[in-house]
Amino acid sequence: MRPRPLVLLALLAFALVPAAAQAKSYTISNLLGSKLGKLTASTSLDVLLPQSLPLDYDGRVYASVSGGKSSWTASFGGAPNCGANACFLADITARKGAKHFNRHPVKLRGGVAGFFNPTSCGGSCAPPSIEFKVDNVLYEIQARVAQKGKTERQLLVAAANSALAHGPR
């Protein structure tokens, strides 16, 4: 019996598809290294960071930071100087006086109100995010997160609670 062309084509297509990335937990301070000191020196705002993030990625992570008087950002990508959706892994930001955009309320550590948005897709997909406000500073964690048995919401609530628990860096 000869193999059917459609079956052969399906097998070939399956063989060429790369394996899905494995989720891995990354320690934020390790990813930032000496850039953490640069970040805290560049801003007067508290730098609240989770201890770790379970990213939907298993490879080298590149970090960059920027900060100023009324905001700061720590960005993480799967390539150096990542500026595209394909290599985006996470952004953690703080903006003084900003208003939240996320719609779904969540309760965080110490009675802090948080707001969550799940992954959303239109022309392109936006990763899930969580926002919370401390002393008129809006903090946001936006990340491609994954961990077996946990939802995006659970993972980002845990990340926000971790940032709140560990306080300013």
Q: How many domains does the chain have?
A: 1
The residue ranges of DSSP E strands in 56-134, in sequence order, are: 62-67, 71-77, 88-96, 104-107, 113-117, 120-121, 125-126, 129-134
Query: Could you give the count of Cα atoms lying within 13 Å of 130 in the half-sphere of its Cβ?
Result: 28
Position 4 confidence tier, pLDDT thresholds 50, 70, 90: low
Residue 32 corresponds to which tokens in the numbers above? Answer: 């930032």
List, in order, residues 6 or more apart from 88 with CB less than 8 Å away. Answer: 77, 78, 82, 127, 144
In a domain, 11, yes or no: no
Domain housing 49:
21-166
For residue 88, pLDDT beyond 50: yes
In a domain, 7, yes or no: no
The pLDDT tens digits of the residues spanning 15-32 come to: 333 334 579 999 999 999
In a domain, 8, yes or no: no
For residue 105, pLDDT beyond 50: yes
In a domain, 136, yes or no: yes
Position 86 confidence tier, pLDDT thresholds 50, 70, 90: confident
pLDDT at position 1: 53
Residue 151 corresponds to which tokens in the numbers above? Answer: 């939802």
In a domain, 15, yes or no: no
pLDDT at position 124: 85
Query: Could you give the count of Cα atoms lying within 13 Å of 138 in the half-sphere of its Cβ?
Result: 13
In a domain, 6, yes or no: no
pLDDT at position 20: 45
In a domain, 29, yes or no: yes
For residue 123, pLDDT beyond 90: no
pLDDT at position 152: 98
Query: Could you give the count of Cα atoms lying within 13 Å of 75 in the half-sphere of its Cβ?
Result: 17
The pLDDT tens digits of the residues spanning 127-158 come to: 999 999 999 999 999 999 999 999 999 999 99
The pLDDT tens digits of the residues spanning 30-59 come to: 999 999 999 999 999 999 999 999 999 999
Query: Could you give the count of Cα atoms lying within 13 Å of 133 in the half-sphere of its Cβ?
Result: 13
In a domain, 125, yes or no: yes
Q: CB–CB of 2/34 below 8 Å?
A: no
Q: What is the Cα 50 distance to its own chain's centre?
A: 10
Sheet holding 104-107, edge to edge: 62-67, 71-77, 88-96, 137-143, 129-134, 113-117, 104-107
